Structure 1
Amino acid sequence: MSAAEKIAMGIVSIGMITTLILPGRQTPAVINAFTKLFRGSLATAMGTGVKV
């Protein structure tokens, strides 16, 4: 890829990421939910999870 193509790709990528995390969107909440699910599963597997 040429330098111009890489720059254009970077601009498009930043635009897409910005669109996903704009205020009023649910994307951050969904990402946090998946993160908590992964961390909770890992903590349970290691035996360090919070006891219920």
Structure 2
Amino acid sequence: MGTLEKVAMGIIGIGMVTTLILPGRQTPQVINSFTNLFRGSLSTAMGTGKKV
């Protein structure tokens, strides 16, 4: 990869990270929902999940 390509990828990467962490985004809620889905499935498999 050339220097120009590396600089362009760095700018795009910084832009994507900035977009994810700006205030008003729902990124934390989406990450939490995936985490809770995994934890819920695991707790159900282990038999330690919440009683319904």
TM-score, length of structure 2 as denominator length:
0.68
Equivalents in 1 of 2:47, 2:3: separation in Å? Answer: 49
TM-score of the two chains, using structure 1 as the length reference: 0.68
5+ unaligned residues in a row in structure 1: which ranges? none
1:1-52 superposed matches below 5 A:
1-49=1-49, 51-52=50-51
Structure 2 unaligned residues grouped into runs of 5+: none
Q: Distance in 1 between matches of 2:29 and 2:20?
A: 11
Number of positions where the alignment pairs a residue of Structure 1 with one of Structure 2:
51
CA shift in 2, pair 1:48/1:16, >3 Å:
same
Q: Residues of 1 paired with 2:47 and 2:26: CA distance?
A: 31
Query: Percent same amino acid among aligned pairs?
Result: 76
Aligned CA-pair RMSD: 1.7
